[in-house]
Structure 1
């Protein structure tokens, strides 16, 4: 019977007792919404009757150090009963699996598409996907370093996804890594072991030192996810050649090939947006929120598509749903600020921009947006101060330097 062991400000910790043997410690991906009743991977653990611990972030927060210290202390008696301990996760969860391997006494680590860090100062332009989730008070010094993971970590990733390859390389410079490349799996390689049968085989190979590369090579040959990723990359190539109809057809085929994969549906939608196929994009976005109504990303995409169509009221309604699901994400409030300004509500746009900065002052774009709103309000001195704060965070942004200088000259 699974029970909750601990609540902290940023985490929930669960324990699922099993028959004895290896202990699986799972870290959730950012798309999972904590609800106090379940942990990431619980269904598979139930099917396989595994001893398991689930560490769940209340929001996308990359498992802050102070909260993890509380979790490790609470888990100490459970950890002491197990000889083999496997940490396991995807994306932010993959980061957690590597970062806290030593603290959890892990003997095996399985990290799918993990990040080395999400600190903007360390990443530069290498990966901007998760910048909106970075918070100075939670993530200072969060990068994985040598002592964090003394055992070899199996890092499963798609080398063709530049951001994930970059993080893999940074991790390999610091901790022992077993590289498991899975071509054409995108940022979703973990979906290949989503069921009990493939995950059970994966776990046996991980514990027994088997050939993980050969295992994933076999999985990818028959995978709808891999077919969808190939089709999406084909869509991108066709788009670049100006063959819009063929690109749209490839994107639609990708979404149909892997209908249960959010990442695939999301990418297909973006192809249609770039092509300017507004009706097709709207249909895809509406399907996205129907299939994943609890995803703030799905509602954000719907807002973008409605905005493309100049459906301002519909865009604002969709963005409000996204914010209701994830009110702590500054990037959503930044988008709201832009939308409010476009509909002539400058005071509300300024308030939304201020709120974005309050939520996450470490993001340069938040200060840039605030500066834009202050300029619109004729408050030049305050705007220049906001620009200076943005430049302190992004000192190499020459476009921002030129903009500030133009404003200073009047």
Structure 2
């Protein structure tokens, strides 16, 4: 671990260890600081921008970026030392705002006092993903079992900062928002059908920048933001797409109408296009669904989450050989993601590649050995084909539960961020990063 370097090339780096780097970038006004924390899958290592780094530089906002070496919810032995460095670097500031989305929101709340924050902005935060605490949380299964949860970094939340917590109460984030409110007083802004993370909806409606500016200025109005966010949703593709997906099967006409309206108000929006394609695929309108997804994959420069959607649409259409080709691509790009191995195993089984299916499900178990779904799948594949049944004329299996679980996993959970930041998953493979605020 090192203090502030004397060398010009590292002048902005005020803390470094094997696990944490803290980067300080001062703008003209150093009486107000934003302290950011990375979200899940922003990238491993430290040769990358911090969360929102380019945005804050462009806006002339002084920022400090706290960067962990991986998706570890900041459970590092030297985390407290890193936070103390941040506090020293902002000493005397009028306002210090911690800011993060999802995993970063977890940190923005929990570490606000440690950095001397006056305010904390947490977008779709987790209270915890420790399985001993969040017993119903399954979105980060591969991570929460391997992380060593440190009581000093993951216990009850305590902060004197004004905490603004914004989340979608129709998603699994509801439990986290309500649990956070049991520990601390928060300005809770609940925005239904805005997905995880709500960061994308706020950015898409041009509310995110003004929100951050108002917190730094000390004149944030929670009621005004809540009112404006809800006013704008009727003409927003993310909201309409999520609302369409939430419709029960008996209201399929309503769901399709909402999804087409989402596309009409957001014709270039990936979220709206994918929402419609999923519904079309579900209803057997495979040609249109596949055409939409093929265009999204191309336009997004083959962003991984949309590549996965494309394969799922091929599976629904019974075109498993084409789905298998895409599954191989996905695995080559993200070989360390357990649920992709399980997903690819199912595709291989349906395509008749039984040996590959068994090998892939064992790979999922090696990456996430505590996952009971994978264990049941491994047993099932070993002893025989998964049970088949017919539903609405489409061949399905109990493995649809696995597919649905996969779609709730981090690759799906954070996929809405690609609406503004299509490089979300490409970052993990050394490709370009985004310049947005988050």
- TM-score normalised by length of structure 2: 0.72
Q: Which of 363, 369, 376 is matched with 2:371 structurally? A: 363
C-alpha distance in 2 between matches for 1:188 and 1:154: 15
**Alpha-carbon distance in structure 1 between the residues aligned to 2:143 and 2:96:** 29
How far residue 111 of structure 1 moved from its aligned partner, in angstroms, is: 0.6
Could you tell me how far apart the structure 1 residues matched to 2:205 and 2:263 are? 24
Q: Which residue of 2 aligns with 1:182?
A: 191
Change (3 A) 1:7 1:180: same
- Secondary structure, counterpart of 2:113 in structure 1: coil
Higher helix proportion (structure 1 or 2):
1
Give the Cα separation in 1 of the matches to 2:289 and 2:211.
Answer: 37
1:14/1:38 contact within 8 Å kept:
no
Q: Paired residue for 2:231?
A: 221
Q: In the alignment, which residue of structure 2 is the partner of 1:48?
A: 59
| Conservation of the 8 A alpha-carbon contact between 1:153 and 1:178 | yes
Distance 1:108 1:76, change over 3 A: closer
CA distance in 1, matches of 2:379, 2:20: 35
Distance change in 2, residues 1:273/1:71 (3 Å): farther
Q: Unaligned 5+ residue runs, structure 1?
A: 378-410
What is the CA distance between 1:217 and its match in structure 2? Answer: 1.7
Q: Check the 8 A contact 1:350/1:370 in 2, yes or no.
A: yes
The answer to which of 263-272 and 105-114 deviates more is 263-272
Equivalent residue number for residue 109 of structure 2: 98
Deviates more, 1:63-72 or 1:87-96: 63-72
How far apart are the structure 2 equivalents of 1:263 and 1:119? 30
**Given that residues 132 and 330 in structure 1 are in contact (C-alpha distance below 8 angstroms), is that contact kept between their aligned partners in structure 2?**
no
Correspondences of 1:9-408 after superposition (within 5 Å): 13-19=22-28, 20-30=30-40, 32-33=42-43, 36-56=47-67, 60-66=71-77, 68-69=79-80, 71-72=82-83, 75=86, 77-80=88-91, 82-125=93-136, 127-128=137-138, 130-138=139-147, 140=149, 144-159=154-169, 161-194=170-203, 198-207=207-216, 208-222=218-232, 226=236, 228-230=238-240, 232-234=242-244, 236-237=246-247, 240-244=249-253, 247-259=255-267, 262-293=270-301, 295-376=303-384
**Shift, 1:236, TM fit:** 4.3
**What CA distance in whole angstroms lies between the structure 1 residues aligned with 2:264 and 2:20?**
35
Deviation of 1:155 (Å) = 0.4
- Bigger shift: residues 190-199 or 15-24: 190-199
CA distance, structure 1, for counterparts of residue 88 and residue 156 of structure 2: 26
Structure 1 position 115, deviation (Å): 1.4
Give how far 1:197 is off: 7.4
Give, in whole Å, the separation in 1 of the partners of 2:38 and 2:302. 16
TM-score by length of 1: 0.77
